[in-house]
Chain A
Amino acid sequence: MCWSSFFIPAMALAACSVALAQAPSFNNVGRSPTSEEIQAWDIAIGPNGKELPAGSGSAKEGAEIYKRKCAACHGPTGEGGQLGPHLLGGQGTLNTPQPVRTIGSYWPFATTIWDYIHRAMPHGQGGSLSANEVYSLTALMLYWNHIIAETDVIDAKSLPKVKMPNRNGFIPPRMEDIGDMQKRGCHGGHCP
């Protein structure tokens, strides 16, 4: 794009970098989404939980929903079945050659439970659960994994504050350090 600067160095180069800094505008290609369109698709919940919707639920309520909508695949008590993975257990296995990675033993963020149940569960019917149902099932997962009590109410405020047992089990632990591969000391496809 700026190859002409090879021939006319100083001034052309300056003009060129200014041009690059500006946003290229493609006249009449694409359009602005409506706020309804953004809202309909903007389902991701980040680790600080700021996108979490209104609503709440407890493990007690979650148990009823689980029986109807989850147990067929994941087993009556979350031990896993032919179609769905186990949802609990695995404590004390991470430093062995056979780590068992579950919500309780491995998942670093409670918000990920909410996000995944909401977008993907039950199998083939992702997005069908109400916010209250997702809060209740998330609470059930946390209760079964001994992270909260059965009657604890989970909502947009409390969920991001839940401390997951394996939160510090990842290298590097700080989120702001993850993206810089050089700083992490990664090379040749391997990180420390």
Chain B
Amino acid sequence: MAGLAVGATRSAKGQTPTSEASEARAKDLHAYGERSHFEKSSRMGSLGLWPPSAGPTRDYGFRTPLQNSVGIITPASLHFVLSHGYDPPDIDPRQHRLMIHGMVDRPLIFSLDDLERLPSVSRFHFVECHGNSATSAPNRAIRMAETATVQDTHGLTSCSEWTGVLLSVLLRDAGVQKGATWLLAEGTDEVKHTKSIPLDKAMDDVLVAYGQNGEALRPEQGYPLRLVVPGWQGIGNVKWLRRIKVVDQPYMTMMETTRYPSPRLDGKSRWFESEMGPKSVITRPSGGQRLAGAGFHEITGLAWSGGGFIRRVEVSTDGGRTWKDAQLQEPIARKAHTRFRMDWNWDGTEAVLQSRCTDERREVQPSVNELAKIWGVNMDYFQLAGTVDMGNFNAIHSWKVNRDGSVRNVLV
């Protein structure tokens, strides 16, 4: 293979004017395509997430460049990655197995070939880290900077068409026993990541996925097999899935009991706060971009909710004083990114752009003020420089457009 690539480079050199172009031709784009070498949009790490102490820091919260997104699908190569500092395992799919056992009548082991024979479904779903867009997560400085982009603020959500087998199909095949209420999902990664999931959720819409956007999962997305737990905190979407154990209580694993509960100011923590609330953000114009001048600009963005379909998105250009309904782009799917758009004629004066969404349960995305009320905190809570790990922050986001057309991140 290496020899072929070198040969291709040589022959391409004679035909193309620049060395940059010849580099791009080095691979056979007819066999597996790549984007134009002019396109540079890429994932970016969340600096300093782990470890929190000084010294060599492993950058691992790789964020999706939502500012360049179009439509609702995140290319697999740009889907955010958060693997708690560990590299993806290199798994031979012919060797990989999924075991279902515990409180079942018939423990089962499936190969990838087995799973591909079973009834399949393809569904659009977002996956979002529970800390996405929080104002006081460990990467607070980047998130709160005036220069922050939507990648910095909201880049830990992505949306794919996932293909696989419904977990309910596998569980029915194994025969769940009376008294079972939870399951434990486990990966093949270095730390054998585990997550407890209520059986009701598993039987509802959880997917054992081998496909993402029309091809096999990428290694950093769980190749060859992962769990997709629609609408719930990202931590439960166990990658490199090897085992489902049916049990009768949550197993209180490390992540779910010590890292992912949300601390309250009274010292208590909300744990297993699983579902992600309605959230939206304008992706264009957004932080770091610059409007070329007064006149027509489309406002567009993404809305999503763990509660189901997005029913409505409203947009404000005056910091929330007045709102107008945005158009929703089809397809609109449950627990998936939904693209919205609105015509806007910018008059060249300062503007504050906001969006808020409503889901099928009529839950409305809260303002920062309203979220403070829900959490029982003062507004200054969102400005704290501390290590407090806010889960499920879903407040309305504001972008300030200055007279010179520059767009800045602000907390309104």
**Which residue of B has the minimal Cβ distance to A124?**
B190
User: Which among A62-70, A137-145, A147-155, A181-189 touches the partner chain?
Assistant: A181-189
Quick check: is A76 within 8 A (CB to CB) of the other chain? Answer: no
Q: How far is the CA of A129 from the CA of B276 in the complex (A)?
A: 37
**Which residue of B has the minimal Cβ distance to A94?**
B267
Quick check: is B344 within 8 A (CB to CB) of the other chain? Answer: no
Quick check: is B243 within 8 A (CB to CB) of the other chain? Answer: yes
Contact B51 A97 (CB under 8 A): no
User: Which among A10-18, A39-47, A53-61 touches the partner chain?
Assistant: A39-47
Contact A44 B245 (CB under 8 A): yes
Q: Is the interface of A mostly helix, strand, loop or mixed?
A: loop
Contact B254 A112 (CB under 8 A): yes
Quick check: is B16 within 8 A (CB to CB) of the other chain? Answer: no
Given the known A-B contacts A33-B101, A178-B250, are A169 and B267 also in contact in the complex, defined by CB atoms under 8 Å?
yes
Quick check: is B194 within 8 A (CB to CB) of the other chain? Answer: yes
Contact B268 A170 (CB under 8 A): yes
Contact A33 B99 (CB under 8 A): yes
A106 CB → nearest B CB, Å: 6
Quick check: is B200 within 8 A (CB to CB) of the other chain? Answer: yes
Interface string of A162-192 (1 = CB under 8 A from B): 0000000111000110111100001111111
- Within 8 Å CB of B249, what residues of A? 46-48, 175-176
- Within 8 Å CB of B26, what residues of A? none
Quick check: is A80 within 8 A (CB to CB) of the other chain? Answer: yes
Interface centre among B194, B267, B394 (most CB of A within 10 A): B267
User: Which among B64-72, B180-188, B280-288, B291-299 touches the partner chain?
Assistant: B180-188
Contact B252 A112 (CB under 8 A): yes
Contact A175 B250 (CB under 8 A): yes
Give the residues from 224 to 267 in chain B that come closer than 8 angstroms, CB to CB, to chain A. Answer: 242-243, 245, 247, 249-254, 257-259, 261, 263-267
Given the known A-B contacts A33-B101, A44-B194, A175-B250, are A109 and B257 also in contact in the complex, defined by CB atoms under 8 Å?
yes
Given the known A-B contacts A33-B109, A169-B267, A169-B268, are A23 and B175 also in contact in the complex, defined by CB atoms under 8 Å?
yes
Q: How far is the CA of A109 from the CA of B258 in the complex (A)?
A: 10
Given the known A-B contacts A47-B252, A111-B252, A120-B190, are A190 and B101 also in contact in the complex, defined by CB atoms under 8 Å?
no
A188 CB → nearest B CB, Å: 4
Quick check: is B379 within 8 A (CB to CB) of the other chain? Answer: no
Q: How far is the CA of A136 from the CA of B53 in the complex (A)?
A: 27
- Per the CB 8 Å criterion, the residue count for chain A at the interface is 62
- Within 8 Å CB of A190, what residues of B? 273, 277, 374-375, 392
- Within 8 Å CB of A111, what residues of B? 252
**Which residue of B has the minimal Cβ distance to A80?**
B53
Q: How far is the CA of A192 from the CA of B271 in the complex (A)?
A: 10
Quick check: is B35 within 8 A (CB to CB) of the other chain? Answer: no
B189 CB → nearest A CB, Å: 9
B196 CB → nearest A CB, Å: 9
- Within 8 Å CB of B107, what residues of A? 32-33, 38
- Within 8 Å CB of A37, what residues of B? 99, 109
Quick check: is B272 within 8 A (CB to CB) of the other chain? Answer: yes
Give the residues from 104 to 153 in chain A that come closer than 8 angstroms, CB to CB, to chain B. Answer: 106-109, 111-112, 115-116, 119-120, 124, 126-127
Contact B258 A189 (CB under 8 A): no
Q: How far is the CA of A124 from the CA of B191 in the complex (A)?
A: 8
Q: How far is the CA of A190 from the CA of B254 in the complex (A)?
A: 22
Q: How far is the CA of A31 from the CA of B295 in the complex (A)?
A: 65
**Which residue of A has the minimal Cβ distance to B184?**
A44
Contact A126 B114 (CB under 8 A): no
- Within 8 Å CB of B278, what residues of A? 188-189
- Within 8 Å CB of A89, what residues of B? none
**Contact check: which of B51, B169, B190, B267 meets A85 at CB < 8 Å?**
B51
- Within 8 Å CB of A44, what residues of B? 184, 186, 194, 245, 251, 253
- Within 8 Å CB of B261, what residues of A? 170
A171 CB → nearest B CB, Å: 5
Quick check: is A24 within 8 A (CB to CB) of the other chain? Answer: yes
Contact A41 B99 (CB under 8 A): yes
Contact A188 B271 (CB under 8 A): no
Quick check: is B6 within 8 A (CB to CB) of the other chain? Answer: no
Quick check: is A4 within 8 A (CB to CB) of the other chain? Answer: no
Contact A191 B101 (CB under 8 A): no
**Which residue of B has the minimal Cβ distance to A48?**
B249
Q: How far is the CA of A39 from the CA of B340 in the complex (A)?
A: 50
A16 CB → nearest B CB, Å: 16
- Within 8 Å CB of A126, what residues of B? 190-192
**Which residue of B has the minimal Cβ distance to A170?**
B271
User: Which among B41-49, B318-326, B380-388 touches the partner chain?
Assistant: B380-388
**Which residue of A has the minimal Cβ distance to B110?**
A30
**Which residue of B has the minimal Cβ distance to A43?**
B192
Given the known A-B contacts A42-B101, A46-B247, A175-B250, are A169 and B191 also in contact in the complex, defined by CB atoms under 8 Å?
no
**Contact check: which of B258, B263, B275, B366 meets A186 at CB < 8 Å?**
B275
Given the known A-B contacts A24-B172, A97-B384, are A112 and B194 also in contact in the complex, defined by CB atoms under 8 Å?
no
Q: How far is the CA of A127 from the CA of B114 in the complex (A)?
A: 28
Contact A187 B269 (CB under 8 A): no
- Within 8 Å CB of A170, what residues of B? 257, 261, 268-271
Q: List 24 A-B contacts (CB under 8 A).
A: A23-B172, A23-B173, A29-B110, A30-B111, A33-B109, A41-B242, A45-B251, A46-B247, A46-B249, A47-B249, A80-B51, A80-B53, A108-B252, A112-B254, A119-B192, A126-B192, A176-B249, A178-B271, A179-B250, A189-B277, A189-B306, A190-B375, A191-B270, A191-B273
Closest 5 CB pairs of A and B: A189-B277, A95-B267, A82-B55, A179-B198, A120-B191
